[in-house]
C-alpha cells in the first residue's frame, strides 16, 4: 500500500457519501482507476453502506406501548412522592444545562448554585410554600383572542383564523437566530399536528379553549418584529401545546400498575 493509498482511504467515506468537492472527488476517482487494492476497499465499503441502508425496518412488539405506560405511571408515582424542593432543584439544573447561554462550565455551575439558593429561599419564605411544584392546570385560561385578518391555520381538523407564523421565517436561514426560529416553528407545527389527532376526544369547550389560546399565541408570534421576541413567543406557544399534550395524556392514562 502506497502513501497515495493511505491518503485515499482516509477520504473514502467522504467520497462515497458525496461529501468531497469535485476536485478532491476527481483525485479519488483517478486513484481508484489505477489501484486494484483501493478499488476493492471502495467496492466493499459501498456494498456495506448499501446493505446497511437495506436492513429491514424493525417493528416493536405490540406489548411495548403497555410497558411504556406502566413505566411512566410508576415513574410518576415515584416522582410525586419526592420533596418539592428536589423537584425545583432538578428543574433549575435542567434549565441551566439546556439553556446553552453560558459557555464555561464553571460559570454554569456557579449560576446554578446561586439560582438554586435563591429559589430555595424564596420557596421557604412564601406563604404557600407547601404547595409543591406547579402542575398542568385543569382548565386552560382563555384570553380574548385577537386574530390576524384573512389568514387561516389548520388546527386539529378545524380551521382557525390566524396568521401563518412559519411562512415568513423559514425562507432565509442564514442567521443563527433565524435558524432557531425555524426550528421552533417546525416543533410547534409538529406538536400541533399531534394535538390535531387527539383533540377529537376533548370536550367541545376544551377544543374551543385550546383553539382560542393557540390563535392568540400565534398572533403574538406574528406581531414579533425581531428574532429574539419571536423565539420567546414561539416558546410560549410550544409550552402551551406541550402542556395540552401532557394534560391529554394524564387524562387518558390509567393508574400505576
Partner 1 sequence: MEVLYHQYKRRVFGMAHRIVGTTDAEEVAQEAFVRVFRGLANFRGDSQLSTWIYRLTVNAALSYLAKRGRRQEVGDESIAEMPAPPTAERDLALAARIEDAMGRLPAGYRAILVLHDIEGLSHEECAAILECRIGTCKSQLHKARAKMRELLGASLK
Instruction: Catalog residues that contact partner 1 under the rule CB under 8 A.
Output: 10, 12-14, 19, 40-41, 43-45, 47-49, 51-61, 63-65, 67-68, 71-72, 75-76, 79, 91, 94-95, 98, 100, 136, 180, 183-184, 186-188, 190-191, 194, 197-198, 234-235, 238-239, 242-243, 245-246, 248-249, 252
**37 HSE (CA, 13 A, CB side):** 7
In this structure, are residues 209 and 166 in contact, taking their beta carbons and an 8 Å threshold? Answer: no
What contacts 223, CB < 8 A, 6 or more positions away?
233
User: For residue 155, how many other CB atoms are within 10 A of its CB?
Assistant: 21
Residue (24 or 64) nearer to partner 1, CB? 64
Residue (145 or 177) nearer to partner 1, CB? 177
What contacts 109, CB < 8 A, 6 or more positions away?
none
How far apart, in whole angstroms, are the C-alpha atoms of residue 28 and residue 12? Answer: 8
Q: Shortest gap between Cβ of 127 and partner 1 (angstroms)?
A: 26
Q: Shortest gap between Cβ of 75 and partner 1 (angstroms)?
A: 6
Residue (71 or 126) nearer to partner 1, CB? 71
Q: Shortest gap between Cβ of 192 and partner 1 (angstroms)?
A: 11
DSSP 44-96: HHHHHHHHHHTSPPPPPPTTHHHHHHHHHHHHHHHHHTS-HHHHHHHHHHHHH
Residue (113 or 246) nearer to partner 1, CB? 246
Q: Shortest gap between Cβ of 125 and partner 1 (angstroms)?
A: 26
Residue (22 or 98) nearer to partner 1, CB? 98
Amino acid at each position: 500500500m502506497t502513501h497515495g493509498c493511505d491518503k485515499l482511504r482516509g477520504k473514502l467515506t467522504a467520497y462515497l457519501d458525496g461529501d468531497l468537492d469535485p476536485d478532491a472527488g476527481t483525485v479519488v476517482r483517478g486513484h481508484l482507476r489505477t489501484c486494484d487494492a483501493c478499488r476493492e476497499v471502495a467496492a466493499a465499503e459501498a456494498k456495506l453502506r448499501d446493505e446497511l441502508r437495506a436492513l429491514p425496518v424493525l417493528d416493536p412488539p405490540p406489548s411495548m406501548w403497555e410497558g411504556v405506560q406502566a413505566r411512566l405511571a410508576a415513574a410518576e408515582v415515584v416522582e410525586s412522592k419526592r420533596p418539592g424542593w428536589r423537584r425545583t432543584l432538578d428543574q433549575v439544573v435542567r434549565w441551566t444545562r439546556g439553556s446553552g447561554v453560558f459557555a464555561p462550565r464553571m460559570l454554569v455551575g456557579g449560576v446554578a448554585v446561586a439560582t438554586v439558593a435563591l429559589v430555595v429561599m424564596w420557596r421557604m419564605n412564601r406563604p404557600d410554600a407547601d404547595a409543591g411544584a406547579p402542575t398542568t392546570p385543569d382548565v386552560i385560561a382563555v384570553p380574548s383572542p385577537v386574530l390576524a385578518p384573512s389568514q387561516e391555520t389548520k388546527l386539529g381538523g378545524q380551521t382557525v383564523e390566524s396568521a401563518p407564523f412559519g411562512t415568513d421565517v423559514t425562507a432565509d436561514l442564514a442567521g443563527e437566530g433565524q435558524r432557531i426560529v425555524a426550528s421552533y416553528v417546525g416543533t410547534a407545527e409538529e406538536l400541533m399536528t399531534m394535538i390535531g389527532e387527539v383533540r377529537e376526544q376533548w370536550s367541545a369547550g376544551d377544543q374551543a379553549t385550546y383553539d382560542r389560546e393557540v390563535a392568540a399565541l400565534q398572533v403574538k408570534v406574528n406581531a414579533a418584529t425581531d428574532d429574539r421576541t419571536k423565539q420567546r413567543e414561539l416558546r410560549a406557544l410550544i409550552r402551551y401545546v406541550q402542556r395540552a399534550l401532557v394534560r391529554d395524556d394524564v387524562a387518558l392514562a390509567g393508574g400505576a400498575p
